[in-house]
Structure 1
Amino acid sequence: MAGSTSADVVVVGSGVAGSLVAYRLAKAGASVILLEAGPRLARWQIVENFRRAVDKRDLCAPYPLLRHAPRPEPMNPGAYLIDRGATPYRPQYLRLVGGTTWHWAGAAWRLLPSDFRLKTLYGVGRDWPFPYETLEPWYGQAEAELGVAGPDIDLGSPRSTPYPMNALPLSWMDHRVAEVLGAQSYRVVPEPMARNSRPYDARPACCGNNNCMPICPIGALYNGATHADKAEGAGATLIAQALAYRIEANDRGEIVAIHCKDPNGLSTRVTGKRFVIAANGIETPKLLLMSTSARFPKGIANGSDQVGRNLMDHPGTSVNFLANEALWPGRGPVEMSSIVDFRDGPFRAQQSAKKLHLSNAAPTLAVTWNLLGKGLTGGELDRQIREQCARRLTFGSFHEQLPSSENRVMLSAQKDALGLPRPEIAYSIDDYVRKSAADTHAQFERIAGIFEGTEIEYNDTPGASSHIMGTAIMGRDARDSVVDAECRAHDHPNLFIAGSAVMPAGGSANCTLTIAALSLRLAGTIEASLR
C-alpha cells in the first residue's frame, strides 16, 4: 500500500457511518476512497471463530485482535484503553470492515424531539443546533437503508414515513412480560430493529438464532459491511488494514491528505478534496489529537479545545431474578422489548432520562457458570439449568448522560505496537445519572416483586453501554464545539466528522439510527458541495 493515492472524497472508517457516506457519494458519481484500520472478514469466518472460541462469555472473541489496529479487550481491561478517571470506562468496539455493527442487538431507535432541546426545556446539558424535524426525513432514509422492522404504534418520535418492514413477532416471554407489567401501569413496547422480518435488501428474514451478539449467522441483522460492499459496487475503493494516523492540513486550514500505515508500518499518503472522519467516539478524537503541526499545535479541528471532551455513553445497570413462572427467554432475537415510561418528563431537570429493556438472550451460559460455582454436578446440575433457564429474567437500562468537559479522551504517553499513543480516558458518573440509577433500582425492585422474583441480583454500578458520544461535539459556536450543524469542522472547510462523536445529547436510546441519519445528511451536504 506504500505510496500515494487520491480521490474526491476520503473516508476514514468503514462502520455504519463511513460506509453509508461512501456509498451515497460513490453512487452520486464521486470518486471515493474508504480506509479501514482492520481486515475484511466473511461472515462464515466470524461464525467459525465463535464456534471455536474457548470462552463464549467474551462476545468479542470471534473478531481479530490485531497488533497494528488494537481495540478494547473485554476480558483484559487495560490492554488498550487506559483509565485515568474516577470511574473505569470499558466500552467494546470492533475494528474491521463493517465496524461494530457486526456485533450489536440491532435496536434502531429515533431520538425524541425533546432530546434535541434538553437545555431549552430542562436547563441542563446542550441543545442540538437544529430540531428533531430537521433530521426526521433522514431518519426515514436511514430506516430504509438499514432495513428497520418496527411496530405500528407511537414511540414518541413523529414519523413522515412508515417503517420499511412490520415488526418481528414477539417471543412468548416478551408477550407475557408486556401483559404482566402492562397491568401494573408500565408501558412495554416492541423495539424497532435493524433486522429483517421478511426478505429485504438481499438479506433473509430473521429465523431466531438468538446469536445476534456476537454474530448473526445468516445476515438477517444489518451490519455496516452491507454498505461497504455497496460502496465498492458503486465504484468506491476500499482499502482494508490501512490505519489512519495523521491528518495533514495546509497553512490555510484546508485538509490535504490522510496518512495511514499498513500492518508492516509502511505509510501511504491519501489526498482528496473532501475528508470524512468516521472512526468512532474514541478513535476519531485520537486521530484528530495525534495530527499536530506548527500551524495546529493542539491537533486538527481543535481550536475550541473540545476534541476528546464531552465523552458520553448510556451508563447501564441491570437486574436478574427467577420469575414465578416459566417464560423461556432465548427464543428469537436477543432483545425485543423496552419499557419507555422514563424517556422524558420534567424530572430531566434533576436526573437523567432512561430506557429499560428486557433481555431475550439465552441465559444458559450465565446460569451454568453460576451453578458450577456452587458446586453442582451431574443430574442435579442438569435439572437446575433447565429450571433456572426457563424462569430467569434480566432487565437492563440506558441512562442519559450530560456532556462534561472533564469526561474526555486523551493521548497517553504509552504507545501501541506501531508507536502510536494509546487512548487515555478520564471518566466519571455524576449525580444526574446516579439519582436516576437509584430510581432504576427501585423500578427493578418493583418489577421483581411483580414476578415474585427469587435469587434477585442487582448490578447497580453504571457501566459502559458502548454508545460512545460527544467527543467531537456539534454546536453553533466554534468556541465550544468541534463541528457545525452540517458536521463540518469549524476549523477546516473540507473536513467532516461522521458518527456518534458529534452528538451533543444522546437521550436514553441506542444511537445507531441517529448515526445513520446524520451520515446520510452529511453525504448530501458533501454531494452538493462537490457539484
Structure 2
Amino acid sequence: MSVSQLKTKPRRPRRDEEVDVLIVGAGPSGSVAALELAKAGMSVVVMEQGDWPEYAEYTGARPEHELVSTKLWHPNPNVRDSPSDYPVDTSTTDINPLMYAGVGGSANLYGAQWMHFLPSDFRVRSLDGVADDWPMSYEDLLPYQLEIERQVGVSGLSGDPAYPPRGPYPFPALPMGSVGYKGIEGQEKMGWHWWPGSNAIPSEQHGQLNPCVRRGTCLTGCPEGAKSTTDRSHWPMALKAGAMLITNARVSEIETNEEGLATGVVYFDANGRQRRQRAKVVILCANGVGTPRLLLMSGGEDGLANSSGLVGKRLMMHPFASILASFPDPLDSWRGPFGQQIYSLEFYETDESRGFVRGSKWNCMPSGGPVGVSGAIGSKVYVSEEGDYRDFWGSNLHENVARRFGHSLIWGIVGEDLPEESNQVVLSSDLTDSDGLPAPQIRYQVNENSNRLLQFNIDRCLESVKAAGAIETLVSTPVRESGWHLIGTTVMGADPKTSVVDQWGAAHDVPNLYVMDASTFPTSGATNPTATIMAVALRNTRRLIAERRNQKVA
C-alpha cells in the first residue's frame, strides 16, 4: 500500500477517517509540513494540544502589561499553568524548558530572532573533534532556508561577512534604534563584528502580517499581529488547501501493528474523551521535550523507535547569559523589536586558546519597562561602579528605575550546547498531566565547556559596554528561565545503532514514523533554531512527497 492517491481538489477529512498523514504539533515544523502535504493533495490531520492564540488577549498594548504578562504569558508552563499545558518535572535540571501549547507553537512567545545555522555548525566533529557532523551541509539546506524566509516574511540585511554570500532578505531590516547604535558603539571601539538584526517581523505588510510598530513586547505575544508565527504565515493557506486541524487534542500514544508500522494515534479530545485517529504516516513535531515524551509513552517499556536507546537523550538547551548595561544617554529602550536590534558573531567559531570549543552569538535587545529593569534578568543585587552591593528594592527602587529605565540595553549571550547523553528527557515516576499521562522530567546540567564559554563571553561583553560608556552593569548566568531552544532528543544519523531517525526524519525502527522538529538536530549551534527547524521540515516534507509511492505503510 502507498500514499500515492492525489485528490482533484482539497477535501478536509472527516474526524476519525484514516488519512495519509497525521502530524502531532501545529508549531513551526508541523505547520510547514501540513501546508506542503495539503498542497500536494494528501489528506492531513494535525493534532494540537493547545488552541488558536487570541490576539485580543495579548497584553502588550495595555498599561498593565508588565504586571500581568509574567503570569498569563510566562514561557514556563509550570508558571503559566494553562489547561492546555502539561507540567514538567524540573527538580533535576539547571535550566527550565520553556514552551507554549497552541497553533503556532512556542514561537507565539519567541523574540523572532531569525538566524540560520552557520556552515561550521554542520561539521562540528570534522572541525573540532566533538559531537557529530550533520548528514547534510549548509549548502544543502540553504535553498530551503531562503524559501522559508519568503514564507515567513523576514526583515534583514544581507552581506554579513560571517556568512557565505546569499541573496537579499524579503524585507529591509527593522530600525536598529538608539539601543542598537549604542551596542554598535562598543563593538566598534573593540573592533568586533556586529550586524543589523534579522527578525521574523516584516517591515511592511505581508499576507496576514502587519508592519511592526515597535512595542517591544514580542516575548509575550504580538497584539498587532506583526511578529511572524505560523498561525498567520502558514495555517490560512494550509486550511484552504484541505488540511484538518484538531485543537485541544492531547496525544497519548502512537499505535503500531504487528509489523511494527505506525497506524495512527490515541488522543484525548477537548471534552476529555479518548479517541483514535488512523493514519498511513505519522509525523511528530511536538518539540524536543514533547516528542521524546510521546515516544517513551508508546511502544512498551523501552518506548517506540528506541532500539538505539537514544530517545530523550542528548538534550541541548543553549545555556544563556544576559548583561544589562545602563548609560547616561537616553536610549528609548522600551522600543522594539525586542529580539535583536543588532547581533554579533565575533566569538562564534572555536579558538582553543580560550579554553573551550565552539562559541556564541550575542544579540542586543531593549531592556523594557520599569519592571523589566528592576530585576527581571535574574539578579537580586547589583554591583555599582564603586563596587558596593545594593538591593533592587526598598529605598533603592526609585533610584534604580530612574537610572535604568530608558537608559539601558541587554546583550543576550547564546552559547553552543554540546550533546551529552546524561542530559535527557525521561518520564516522571510521580507527576502527571490533567489526563493522567506521565509528565516529562528534565535531567540536565550545564557542563564545564559551557561554563567556560559563558564566562569568557561575559568578560568580553563587559569590555564592550564599558567601552561604550556604561555606568552600571548587571550580569546573570546561567539564566535558569532560558530553555527556549529544545534540541537533540531524537538525533538524526545514518547508523540505527547511534541515531533515532535518518537524515529525512524517518525513524530507523518505524519507517512510516517521522520526526521533523529540533529533536533530530545532532548539534545545537549557537543561533536561534527556528529558521533551521522550518528549513529542515520543508526539505524533509518535500522528500516525503516526492517518495510517497515508495513509502512503506501499514
The question of a shared fold, defined as TM-score above 0.5 by the shorter chain, is answered with yes
Q: Which amino acid aligns with 2:200?
A: A
2:450 is matched with which residue? 433
The counterpart of 1:385, out of the listed 381, 401, 405, is 401
1:70 counterpart = 2:85: yes
Provide the C-alpha distance between the structure 1 equivalents of 2:244 and 2:269, rounded to a whole number of angstroms. 16
1:57 Cα deviation from its structure 2 partner: 3.4
1:19 Cα deviation from its structure 2 partner: 0.9
1:420 Cα deviation from its structure 2 partner: 0.4
1:515 counterpart = 2:521: no
Q: Which amino acid aligns with 1:338?
A: Y
1:151 counterpart = 2:157: yes
1:36 is matched with which residue? 48
Higher mean displacement: 520-529 or 451-460: 451-460
1:491 Cα deviation from its structure 2 partner: 0.8
SS of corresponding position for 1:469: coil
CA contact (8 A) 1:351 1:435 kept: no
Provide the C-alpha distance between the structure 1 equivalents of 2:216 and 2:61, rounded to a whole number of angstroms. 17
Provide the C-alpha distance between the structure 2 equivalents of 1:292 and 1:471, rounded to a whole number of angstroms. 17
1:423 counterpart = 2:440: yes
SS of corresponding position for 1:435: helix
1:48 Cα deviation from its structure 2 partner: 8.5
Q: 1:48 to 1:178 in 2, by over 3 A?
A: closer
Q: Which amino acid aligns with 1:458?
A: V
Residues 96-495 of structure 1 aligned to structure 2 (within 5 Å): 96-226=102-232, 227-293=234-300, 297-334=301-338, 335-347=340-352, 350-368=356-374, 373-375=393-395, 381=398, 385-414=401-430, 415-463=432-480, 464-495=482-513
Provide the C-alpha distance between the structure 2 equivalents of 1:10 and 1:276, rounded to a whole number of angstroms. 6
1:512 Cα deviation from its structure 2 partner: 0.2
CA contact (8 A) 2:55 2:223 kept: yes
1:196 Cα deviation from its structure 2 partner: 0.4
1:60 Cα deviation from its structure 2 partner: 2.0
Query: C-alpha offsets along residues 367-418 of structure 1, whole Å, 9 cap, x if unaligned?
Result: 35698713258xxx3x763442132222121000111111000001122221
Query: C-alpha offsets along residues 193-241 of structure 1, whole Å, 9 cap, x if unaligned?
Result: 1110111123221121212120111111101212223211111111001
Provide the C-alpha distance between the structure 2 equivalents of 1:29 and 1:316, rounded to a whole number of angstroms. 43
SS of corresponding position for 1:5: coil
- 5+ residue gaps, structure 2, are 1-13, 381-390, 550-554
1:427 Cα deviation from its structure 2 partner: 0.5
Provide the C-alpha distance between the structure 2 equivalents of 1:444 and 1:59, rounded to a whole number of angstroms. 32
Q: 1:241 to 1:159 in 2, by over 3 A?
A: farther
Q: Which amino acid aligns with 2:305?
A: A
Provide the C-alpha distance between the structure 2 equivalents of 1:59 and 1:90, rounded to a whole number of angstroms. 17
CA contact (8 A) 2:264 2:281 kept: no
Q: 1:51 to 1:529 in 2, by over 3 A?
A: farther
SS of corresponding position for 2:442: strand
Q: Which amino acid aligns with 1:530?
A: R
Q: 1:81 to 1:504 in 2, by over 3 A?
A: same
Q: Which amino acid aligns with 2:341?
A: M
1:66 Cα deviation from its structure 2 partner: 3.6
The counterpart of 1:25, out of the listed 18, 37, 52, is 37
Q: Which amino acid aligns with 2:473?
A: I
Query: C-alpha offsets along residues 330-386 of structure 1, whole Å, 9 cap, x if unaligned?
Result: 223113111210111343993331011212242422335698713258xxx3x7634
Aligned positions, number: 514
SS of corresponding position for 1:143: helix
Query: C-alpha offsets along residues 433-468 of structure 1, whole Å, 9 cap, x if unaligned?
Result: 111112022113312421343332211335434100
Provide the C-alpha distance between the structure 1 equivalents of 2:366 and 2:70, rounded to a whole number of angstroms. 16
Query: C-alpha offsets along residues 61-80 of structure 1, whole Å, 9 cap, x if unaligned?
Result: 5997444x324xxxxxxxx2
SS of corresponding position for 1:390: coil
1:46 counterpart = 2:46: no
Root-mean-square deviation (Å): 2.5
SS of corresponding position for 1:485: coil
Provide the C-alpha distance between the structure 2 equivalents of 1:268 and 1:213, rounded to a whole number of angstroms. 34
Higher mean displacement: 387-396 or 362-371: 362-371
Higher mean displacement: 22-31 or 324-333: 324-333
1:55 Cα deviation from its structure 2 partner: 3.5
Higher mean displacement: 491-500 or 261-270: 261-270
1:74 is matched with which residue? none
Provide the C-alpha distance between the structure 2 equivalents of 1:310 and 1:59, rounded to a whole number of angstroms. 31
Provide the C-alpha distance between the structure 2 equivalents of 1:366 and 1:49, rounded to a whole number of angstroms. 16
Q: Which amino acid aligns with 1:525?
A: R
2:68 is matched with which residue? 55
SS of corresponding position for 1:140: helix
Provide the C-alpha distance between the structure 1 equivalents of 2:257 and 2:121, rounded to a whole number of angstroms. 38
Query: C-alpha offsets along residues 126-184 of structure 1, whole Å, 9 cap, x if unaligned?
Result: 11012111111111111111111111322533355321112112212212321342132
The counterpart of 1:8, out of the listed 20, 26, 29, is 20
SS of corresponding position for 2:265: strand
CA contact (8 A) 1:304 1:482 kept: yes
CA contact (8 A) 1:109 1:191 kept: no
Higher mean displacement: 444-453 or 395-404: 444-453
Q: 1:59 to 1:515 in 2, by over 3 A?
A: farther
Query: C-alpha offsets along residues 248-295 of structure 1, whole Å, 9 cap, x if unaligned?
Result: 1112221001111024431111111111100111000000000023xx
Provide the C-alpha distance between the structure 1 equivalents of 2:231 and 2:110, rounded to a whole number of angstroms. 13
CA contact (8 A) 1:324 1:451 kept: no
CA contact (8 A) 2:108 2:221 kept: yes
1:59 Cα deviation from its structure 2 partner: 6.6
CA contact (8 A) 1:124 1:349 kept: no
Q: Which amino acid aligns with 2:401?
A: I
Q: 1:384 to 1:160 in 2, by over 3 A?
A: closer
Provide the C-alpha distance between the structure 2 equivalents of 1:309 and 1:50, rounded to a whole number of angstroms. 42
Provide the C-alpha distance between the structure 1 equivalents of 2:465 and 2:197, rounded to a whole number of angstroms. 22
Q: Which amino acid aligns with 2:73?
A: C
**How many percent of aligned residue pairs carry the same amino acid?**
30
Higher mean displacement: 494-503 or 165-174: 165-174
2:386 is matched with which residue? none
Provide the C-alpha distance between the structure 2 equivalents of 1:157 and 1:48, rounded to a whole number of angstroms. 34
CA contact (8 A) 2:104 2:230 kept: yes
Provide the C-alpha distance between the structure 2 equivalents of 1:433 and 1:462, rounded to a whole number of angstroms. 13
Provide the C-alpha distance between the structure 1 equivalents of 2:205 and 2:219, rounded to a whole number of angstroms. 21
- 5+ residue gaps, structure 1, are 72-79
